[in-house]
Structures are given as C-alpha cells and as structure tokens.
Amino acid sequence: MTHEPPGGSPGALGPRSGGPGGAADGRDAHQPRPRRLYAALDLGTNNCRLLVARPEGASFRVVDAFSRIVRLGEGLAQTGRLSDAAMDRAVEALKVCRTKLRDRQVARARLIATEACRQAENGEAFIARVREETGLALEIVDRKTEAQLAAQGCVPLADPRSRGVILFDIGGGSSEIVWLLPRGPGRNGGPPTAEILGWTSLPVGVVTLAERHDGKHVTAESFARMVDEVAGMVEPFAKEIAVGGQIEHLHMLGTSGTVTTLAGVHLGLPKYDRRRVDGAWLGAGEVDVILDQLLAMTYQDRIAHPCIGAERADLVLAGCAILEGMRRHFPCRRLRVADRGLREGILVSLMRQDGVWRRPFHNRHHDQRPQGQGGPR
C-alpha cells in the first residue's frame, strides 16, 4: 500500500464517459484507461475516515484520504441514542467525503457504519438522514464483518514466520480480537492472506470506557479498574482459543489510535508521522515503559503532547487499559503497530470481488459468535 501526495496523480481521474471518438480527458479512445478508483468509508463511534485508492501491483495506491474525529457515540452509553450534536458533526464530515467521492469519480465504494449505529435506538434513522442530506448510502455492518475486514487490512504486517498473530482493533465503542495464521503472498501477486482461527468482539471501546471512568483524570487505581474490567471480557475468548505454550511464537498486531499513539510517544516524534509508525515493532518492556510515561502525565500534559493532542487526551489511557486487558491474557513479547485496518480491508475485498486478485480470504470459524454477545455484530 502506497500513498500519493494530496491531489492524486494527474490524468487518473477523468470523467466517467467521453464524447464520440475519444475520451473526455483528451486521451485517444484506444489508449488504455487508468485503473478504476475504489473507496472505503468507516464511520465509527469516534472517527469518520475515508480512503480512495486504485489497484497497483500486489496492493493499491492511496490517492486521497480524509479523517475527522466526530464522536458520534458521545453520550450513547447513558442515553441509548445518538445526540443531535453528534449526528450534526458526523453529517458535516460525511459531506466532505461525498465531495471527495464525487470529485474523484470513484467507480466502486463501500461505506460502513459500526458500533455507535449498531447500538443506538435511532441508528437506522440517522442512516436515513445521511442518505437524504448527503446522498451516501451507509451500511451498518455486524461485528463479524468488522473483524474480518480489519484482519484483511492488517495481514500484510503479520510476520510470516510466526505461528500465529493476535490482531486487535481498539475502537470507540467496541474492540475486536482475531487469532490469525499468516498464509503468505496472495495468488497472482495479490496481497498476503491469512486464516482466521478465532475471533471475538468486546462491547467496550475508548469512548465508552473513558466515559465510565473519567478519561481526563486517570489515577493508578482507576486505570487498574479499567484493566480488570476489560480483562474479564477477554477471559472467555482466551480460554476458548487456548494458545497456551504457543504464546512464545505469536506476536500481537494492533490497529487503533491507541497503538499508533504509543508508537509515536516511543519514537519521540515531534509530530505524528505515519511512515514511521505503520509497521513499527514494540517489545513488551517498551510498551510497559510507554504506559508508565502516559500514566505519569496530567490531562494537560497529554493535550500538549504532539502525538496525543486535545482530541485524544481523554481517550488514550482508556485505550491503554483495553490493551493491557488483552495483554494480561496474551503476553506476547512483540507488538507490531498498524496505521491501517478496516478501510484497507474494505478496499482489498472490493478489489478481490472485481478479480484484481483471485485468492479468497480464509475463515475457518465462519459461524463463530463473539463471546458474551447474542450474535455477530
């Protein structure tokens, strides 16, 4: 996966159709047309994110991207509903996405909404409002689909020499854990593939946990309570997959603002740099040191940190507690950081459907339900 500078590549984004005898962008009608553009949108509990890309080699090239913190799930745990202010913020962000999709003349797109819309009493009504005001048709996906897509997006960062990977995605309202077995390069030069050996979804994310435990003012005691709460949710899944003695041969692979923040702090970046963070390795001891550093910071200290800032200052320690709850049951010696995930998985799945690559993504337990849930999300 590569990224182009803002604005994309010249000549790759002509109109959908041309006039008689030639292409609308001035090329001869018999010249090969640029590869079609794909888009993936993820509207979560905390963020609205968009990627636009085209297939290239064994992966794809990102030609446009957008990300905005909208906090769609703000107050949802208390009221059971999306607030008017939160919906307004999300709609404004989605209008930006609509403009990008239109201007880029995207050929194929999948636009998904996750935990906040799944939980909210007015989730479907919000989706209808989005369609009316923006023309975008968002799809509320279940937890199983979310876990699979996140896995597809992160597989290229799995160590192919490992005997398995504990992938986790810490979201705003839910968190997924997937046990993966890397399968090596994809067929016909496509992206790497992996087999899903097990998965679960936890009904907790950075927004919900921070709201319950006051994410602004976290003490050692309140942090320990958050870790205990999450560890209790992880325990049934850990017992089910029973990696046991294999843990020495596994590594963790994390995709979330939590782990990218940890990497940024560890690297001492003066500002966030995706190129240095995506794919970075952290040892277990290094993670411990970073957590101690963050716990020693005040809320104002976290706001002032260039890799945290005001938008994440009240959420980052809740995310760290979720990570620690997972590490209690999966004490891997190595953690790889992914600044990629759900959107990249959507892009890969769309391109595979169109025959760009031919190897399917394996899923051994296609009917497995998340622990403690009534059914897949």
How many secondary structure helices (H) and strands (E) does the chain include? Answer: 13, 13
Residue range 42-71, pLDDT digits in tens = 999 999 999 999 998 878 999 999 999 999
Three-class SS state of 141: coil
**Smallest Cα–Cα separation from 258: which of 46, 106, 113?**
46
Tokens linked to 15:
């109109």
- Which has more confidence, 6 or 132? 132
For residues 300 and 217, is the Cβ–Cβ distance under 8 A? no
The predicted pLDDT at position 193 comes to 82
- Which has more confidence, 359 or 230? 230
Q: How far is CA 152 from the centre of its chain?
A: 11
The predicted pLDDT at position 132 comes to 98
For residues 250 and 330, is the Cβ–Cβ distance under 8 A? yes
The domains found in the chain, sorted by start residue, are 2-12+34-141 (3.30.420.40), 144-343 (3.30.420.150)
**Among all chains, which residue has been given the structure tokens 């999966």?**
330
**Smallest Cα–Cα separation from 254: which of 181, 337, 354?**
337
Please, what is the average pLDDT of the chain? 86
pLDDT band of 3, cuts 50, 70, 90? low
Q: Is the pLDDT of residue 229 over 90?
A: yes
Tokens linked to 139:
């799809």
Most confident of 34-48, 98-112, 155-169: 98-112
Q: Is the pLDDT of residue 31 over 50?
A: no
251 DSSP β-pair partners: 165
pLDDT band of 276, cuts 50, 70, 90? very high
The residues, ordered by sequence, that sit 6+ positions from 353 with a Cβ below 8 Å of its Cβ are none
Query: What would you report as the CA-atom Rg of the chain, rounded to the nearest whole angstrom?
Result: 21
For residues 158 and 182, is the Cβ–Cβ distance under 8 A? yes
Cα atoms in the 13 Å half-sphere on the side-chain side of 199: 30
Return the percentage of the chain with pLDDT > 90, whole number: 75
Q: Is the pLDDT of residue 27 over 60?
A: no
The least confident of 20-29, 93-102, 295-304 is: 20-29
The predicted pLDDT at position 363 comes to 52
Amino acid at 343: R
pLDDT band of 182, cuts 50, 70, 90? confident
**Smallest Cα–Cα separation from 41: which of 282, 343, 327, 376?**
343
For residues 123 and 115, is the Cβ–Cβ distance under 8 A? no
First-to-final CA distance of the chain: 28
- Around Cβ 365, how many Cβ atoms within 10 Å? 14
For residues 37 and 54, is the Cβ–Cβ distance under 8 A? yes
For residues 323 and 167, is the Cβ–Cβ distance under 8 A? no
**Smallest Cα–Cα separation from 51: which of 123, 1, 124, 122?**
1
Buried/exposed code over 149-182 (b: 16+ C-beta within 10 A; e: otherwise): bbbbbbbbbbeeebebbbbbbbbbbbbbbbbbbb
The least confident of 4-13, 84-93, 131-140, 337-346 is: 4-13
For residues 348 and 154, is the Cβ–Cβ distance under 8 A? no
Question: Across residues 292-306, what is the average pLDDT?
Answer: 97
The predicted pLDDT at position 4 comes to 54
Residue range 205-218, pLDDT digits in tens = 999 999 999 999 99
**DSSP annotation of 26:** S
Q: Is the pLDDT of residue 10 over 60?
A: no
Three-class SS state of 52: strand
How many whole angstroms separate alpha carbon 156 and alpha carbon 253? 11
**DSSP annotation of 28:** B
Q: Is the pLDDT of residue 26 over 50?
A: no
Residue range 74-118, pLDDT digits in tens = 999 899 999 999 999 999 999 999 999 999 999 999 999 999 999
> pTM of whole model > 0.85?
no
- Which has more confidence, 362 or 8? 362
The predicted pLDDT at position 24 comes to 34
Q: SS3 string of 154-199?
A: HHHHCCCCCCEEEEEEECCCCEEEEEEEEEECCHHHCCCEEEEEEE
